[in-house]
Amino acid sequence: MGSRRRSTLRVLGCALLITLQLAYIKMAAAENFVGAEIANIERLLDAERYADADSKALLLLEQAYQQQKIPADEFLSLGVLFLNTSRFEVSKVVFSAALERYTAKGALSKMALTLLHLATSERHLSNYDSSLAYVHRAMSIAQIERDDTLKARLNLELGTIQQQQGKIEIALEPLKQALGYFRDNNMPSEMSLSLLHIGDLYSTLNQTSLAHTYYRDALESIEKANDSRLLGIIKTRLGALLLKTSSPSQAIQSIESGLKHLDVTKDVGAIAEAKMLLGRAFVEQGDTSKGRKLLQEAMAFAQSSGQLKLMQEGRLALARAYMKEQSFELALAEARTGTIEARKHRDLRDQISFLSLQLNAFVSLGEFKKALDIQSVIQQLREALLDSENKSAIEGLQAEIEVIRQSHTLEKLEESKELALAQAEQEKLQTTLVWSISLAALLFTFLIWSRYKQRQQTIILRREVRQQTLTLQEKNEELQAAYRTLEEVSLRDPLTSLYNRHYLESQLPGEIRRSQFSSNQSTDTNKSKQDLLCLLIDIDHFKRINDDYGHIAGDKVLASFAQVLKHVFRLTDLIIRWGGEEFLVVCRQSNREELPELAERCREMVASTPFDIGLEKPINITCSIGFSLLPPDRKDDFEMAWERTFAVVDYALYAAKLSGRNGWVGVIETLNNNENKRTPIDHKFNFTGSRIATSFNNVASIKWPDNLD
Ligand SMILES: Nc1nc2c(ncn2[C@@H]2O[C@H](COP(=O)(O)OP(=O)(O)OP(=O)(O)O)[C@@H](O)[C@H]2O)c(=O)[nH]1
């Protein structure tokens, strides 16, 4: 008997071991699969088969979503691959997936790193607002984590964004902060990159000798680190500077030497930038056809990777080349397109450059009236630019004045300290003299001295207390920022940025109490805006969208759907992603009579909005809505009121779906005396009667769920 039990146990043990091993092998196989796919994608990128690499990466992402298993670290490194090959649209999508996963896991450091990469991708695509938003989110995490290296890297990115936005003076501050940190911590590559960007700023400001010094420093710092990519970039920037000081042949030499370094690295983005510069240099030297060829090559790359800034730079150079060749009409066409693009992106400097070109072309064509018109537009733009630069400069000056004021105060303090010391010395001499005369004088001097000492002690103590208070304040602010970040993470749905049901649960009891209190307080005349309204909205046949176009397209529809809801409802209404493709809206300070109008506005807006899912044509969708007054009948406690309301709107939504979708059904209010026949909803929720509204023919045509059984 005993031996049989032992052998049964052994068999069970073996089975468990095999199951565990199989699960492990399955997991390892999935990871190996992702790893192998990423290696394939890397090979495609190396072979410059970008379109194939893009679609393979998106497919991999889709599969990961379907299996609901996103290996965040692998996707982070995949994103970096795309970022380094200037495929910014794809890198954005891949980083977003990794960020979603890291956010769910609460991995703060990884979140911050991914946010930084997202900021870089958005910057290259000239989406500066999003880029800045990502940097600020990452910065608050770096603060919580006290990660100074990350802070410095974020400052470097921040300065680069501001530089590209044309905010030259403002950009200098974060770049110098980053440089200081990298220098103190002996990080040559990062230091060199910061020096390079500061050099760029001075070059934009036409302070060429300062720019040259920074570029030289950047070169010196990188030569030790032997980083070909940076070496190449710095040499091309030096070339750009030489071009400014009108030495095209020297510029060509420097850029070509830079290109040699870059060719080894296969950094296609940096190579395109260098080709752009080389093209400009050839145009400047007079070899316009060679220059134009290089410019067009670089512009094609800028277009394919969505880099507007680079595209505009190329367009400007191309227009100048046409001017040199006296092809004024062609130059005019390029300059016009450039002006329109620059206006679209509110880039004043670019607008002025392109308009100046148009001006020259019109003068050359003898069209002086047009030239004069353009001249006055340029003048206005220059004033606007001066205005915005003045504002930045004034801010900078104010900061400088504050620093000078502080240093003056310190100097004064120092002087008074020296005076005090001299006085003490004199007193000491006198004391010695007096001491030799009488003991009483000695005692008197001792008293003065001890009082002076006491005062010193008090000053030191006060300073320490002030310091401690400051540190405490800083800690308090950091803690509050950390709380705010954590609250954001747990109360928002990452896909649509709408609040989730946890948020509703935290807000609703207060709202219900407030509504009940104000409707008890108010007279009949001002009761009109005291109701709470509840609408449950569900996208029709959403599963088909996932099945037909894929999960990523489904996600895009959900995100755009949330935007439509924000248009339909007021800022003060609570819009919640209830789950999947279901959304719940609670309207405050409303009147129950508004319910049908609101539901119809929402239904109509959704049905008439085209939803872009990345295909050639947008798709159309519809939604169904169930609604009710909140609460529909008795003024119960919060739990009862909310449970009953949700059951009613859910039932009404189900009825809307059964009655044909793309419509709404709901309860405006319940009635104490009922003259009409009770509907299935009255029976279901024990209402004496109710006022029902619907978008379908009439109340009698509604197909109620219970009628089906
Ligand atoms: N893309 C995407 N799909 C989701 C998400 N959450 C839920 N879904 C899908 O939404 C679909 C909901 O399908 P159903 O509940 O059958 O409803 P439906 O197809 O909209 O049909 P009706 O509601 O009856 O009109 C399911 O296929 C879910 O997988 C999400 O966050 N993203």
Residues 510 and 569 in one domain: yes
Residues 65 and 149 in one domain: yes
Closest CA to 599 of 651, 635, 652: 652
The whole domain housing 293 covers 228-302
Residues 653 and 545 in one domain: yes
Residue 658: the pLDDT is: 96
> For 229-270, how does the pLDDT look when each residue is reduced to its tens digit (9 = 90+)?
888 999 999 998 888 887 888 899 899 999 998 888 878 888
Max mean pLDDT among 39-53, 210-224, 314-328, 601-615 falls in 601-615
Token pair recorded at residue 556: 């895009």
54 alpha carbon – ligand 1 mean position (Å): 27
280 alpha carbon – ligand 1 mean position (Å): 54
Q: Which of 237-246, 429-438, 622-631 has the lowest mean pLDDT?
A: 429-438
259 alpha carbon – ligand 1 mean position (Å): 52
Residues 237 and 376 in one domain: no
Q: Give the β-pairing of 664-671 and 623-630.
A: parallel
Q: How many of the other CB atoms lie within 10 Å of CB of 443?
A: 10
Write down which residue in 210, 226, 242 finishes a domain. 226
Residue nearest to atom 3 of ligand 1 (CA): 554
DSSP symbols for 11-70: HHHHHHHHHHHHHHHHHHHHHHHHHHHHHHHHHHHHTT-HHHHHHHHHHHHHHHHHTT--
621 alpha carbon – ligand 1 mean position (Å): 13
Residues having CB within 6 Å of any atom of ligand 1 = 495, 538-543, 546, 551, 554-555, 558, 580-581, 657
Q: Is the pLDDT of residue 645 over 80?
A: yes
Given ligand 1 and candidates 536, 537, 581, 625, which is best to mutate, with the most ligand atoms within 8 Å of its CB? Answer: 581
Max mean pLDDT among 34-43, 103-112, 225-234, 641-650 falls in 641-650
Type of residue found at 48: E
586 alpha carbon – ligand 1 mean position (Å): 22
- Residue 327 is classified by DSSP as -
Tell the residue number behind the tokens 């009770």, with chain if given: 678
Q: Is 179 among the domain residues?
A: yes
- Residue 305 is classified by DSSP as T
Categorize the per-residue pLDDT at 430 as very low, low, confident or very high, splitting at 50, 70 and 90: confident
Distance CA 284, CA 246 (A): 8
Q: Is 531 among the domain residues?
A: yes
Domain CATH number, residue 532:
3.30.70.270
Q: Is 319 among the domain residues?
A: no
Q: Which of 52-66, 263-277, 322-336, 478-492 has the lowest mean pLDDT?
A: 478-492
Laid out side by side, the sheet with 689-694 consists of 574-579, 582-590, 531-539, 623-630, 664-671, 689-694
Q: Is 321 among the domain residues?
A: no
Q: Is the pLDDT of residue 4 over 60?
A: no
Token pair recorded at residue 215: 């570029």
Given ligand 1 and candidates 543, 577, 659, which is best to mutate, with the most ligand atoms within 8 Å of its CB? Answer: 543
Residues 120 and 221 in one domain: no
Tell the residue number behind the tokens 């502080």, with chain if given: 406
300 alpha carbon – ligand 1 mean position (Å): 41
Distance CA 496, CA 563 (A): 8
613 alpha carbon – ligand 1 mean position (Å): 16
**C-beta of residue 128 within 8 angstroms of C-beta of residue 164:** yes
Q: Is the pLDDT of residue 69 over 80?
A: no
Helix (H) or strand (E) holding 626: strand 623-630
Categorize the per-residue pLDDT at 330 as very low, low, confident or very high, splitting at 50, 70 and 90: very high
Residues 422 and 436 in one domain: no
Categorize the per-residue pLDDT at 424 as very low, low, confident or very high, splitting at 50, 70 and 90: confident
**C-beta of residue 91 within 8 angstroms of C-beta of residue 82:** yes
3-state per-residue secondary structure call for 432-464:
HHHHHHCHHHHHHHHHHHHHHHHHHHHHHHHHH
Write down which residue in 112, 135, 162 finishes a domain. 162
Q: Which of 217-221, 434-438, 528-532 has the lowest mean pLDDT?
A: 434-438
Burial of 173 (0-12, 13-18, 19+ CB in 10 A): middle
Residues 631 and 684 in one domain: yes
Token pair recorded at residue 700: 């009698």
Residue 629: the pLDDT is: 95
556 alpha carbon – ligand 1 mean position (Å): 13
Tell the residue number behind the tokens 């705010």, with chain if given: 484
Q: Which of 98-107, 385-394, 424-433, 559-568 has the lowest mean pLDDT?
A: 385-394
Distance CA 703, CA 659 (A): 5
Categorize the per-residue pLDDT at 640 as very low, low, confident or very high, splitting at 50, 70 and 90: confident
3-state per-residue secondary structure call for 344-402:
HCCCHHHHHHHHHHHHHHHHHHCCHHHHHHHHHHHHHHHHHHHHHHHHHHHHHHHHHHH
631 alpha carbon – ligand 1 mean position (Å): 28
Atom index in ligand 1 nearest the CA of residue 542 equals 20
Write down which residue in 135, 162, 189 finishes a domain. 162
Atom index in ligand 1 nearest the CA of residue 543 equals 19
Domain CATH number, residue 128:
1.25.40.10
Residue 393: the pLDDT is: 53
Closest CA to 627 of 590, 662, 586: 586
Distance CA 694, CA 661 (A): 12
Residue 425: the pLDDT is: 81
Domain CATH number, residue 255:
1.25.40
Residues 423 and 435 in one domain: no
> For 144-172, how does the pLDDT look when each residue is reduced to its tens digit (9 = 90+)?
888 999 999 999 999 999 988 888 888 99
Helix (H) or strand (E) holding 105: helix 88-105
- Residue 186 is classified by DSSP as T
Atom index in ligand 1 nearest the CA of residue 538 equals 23
Q: Is the pLDDT of residue 558 over 90?
A: yes
Residue 337: the pLDDT is: 93
Categorize the per-residue pLDDT at 18 as very low, low, confident or very high, splitting at 50, 70 and 90: very low
704 alpha carbon – ligand 1 mean position (Å): 22
Given ligand 1 and candidates 70, 493, 538, 542, which is best to mutate, with the most ligand atoms within 8 Å of its CB? Answer: 542
**C-beta of residue 623 within 8 angstroms of C-beta of residue 542:** no
Residues 47 and 131 in one domain: yes
CA 2 to chain CA centroid, nearest Å: 68
Residue 570: the pLDDT is: 95
Sequence-distant (6+) residues with CB within 8 A of 43 are none
Residue nearest to atom 31 of ligand 1 (CA): 580
Residue nearest to atom 1 of ligand 1 (CA): 554
Residue 697: the pLDDT is: 92
Atom index in ligand 1 nearest the CA of residue 579 equals 6
Closest CA to 481 of 115, 137, 112, 129: 137
Q: Is 200 among the domain residues?
A: yes
> For 22-66, how does the pLDDT look when each residue is reduced to its tens digit (9 = 90+)?
444 444 455 567 888 888 999 998 888 888 999 889 888 888 888
Q: Is 354 among the domain residues?
A: yes
Residue nearest to atom 10 of ligand 1 (CA): 543
Q: Is the pLDDT of residue 577 over 80?
A: yes
Residues 531 and 476 in one domain: no
**C-beta of residue 595 within 8 angstroms of C-beta of residue 649:** no
Q: Is the pLDDT of residue 12 over 60?
A: no
Distance CA 614, CA 616 (A): 7
Residue 188, preceding bond cis, omega within 30 degrees? no
Tell the residue number behind the tokens 């495929």, with chain if given: 87
Provide the strand spans (E) within 527-568.
531-539
> What is the widest separation between alpha-carbon atoms in the chain?
120
- Residue 246 is classified by DSSP as T
Residue nearest to atom 24 of ligand 1 (CA): 541
Distance CA 256, CA 250 (A): 10
Helix (H) or strand (E) holding 486: helix 439-491
639 alpha carbon – ligand 1 mean position (Å): 28
Residues 78 and 123 in one domain: yes
Domain count along the chain: 6
Q: Is the pLDDT of residue 576 over 80?
A: yes
Average pLDDT across the chain, whole number: 85
Residues 455 and 354 in one domain: no
Distance CA 55, CA 478 (A): 42
Token pair recorded at residue 344: 């679209």
Residue 315: the pLDDT is: 92
Q: Is 221 among the domain residues?
A: yes
**C-beta of residue 317 within 8 angstroms of C-beta of residue 295:** yes
Distance CA 403, CA 49 (A): 54
Closest CA to 501 of 571, 573, 577, 559: 577
Max mean pLDDT among 459-473, 501-515, 592-606 falls in 592-606
Residue 390: the pLDDT is: 61
Residue nearest to atom 21 of ligand 1 (CA): 541
539 alpha carbon – ligand 1 mean position (Å): 8
Residue nearest to atom 5 of ligand 1 (CA): 580
Atom index in ligand 1 nearest the CA of residue 555 equals 1
Q: Is 296 among the domain residues?
A: yes
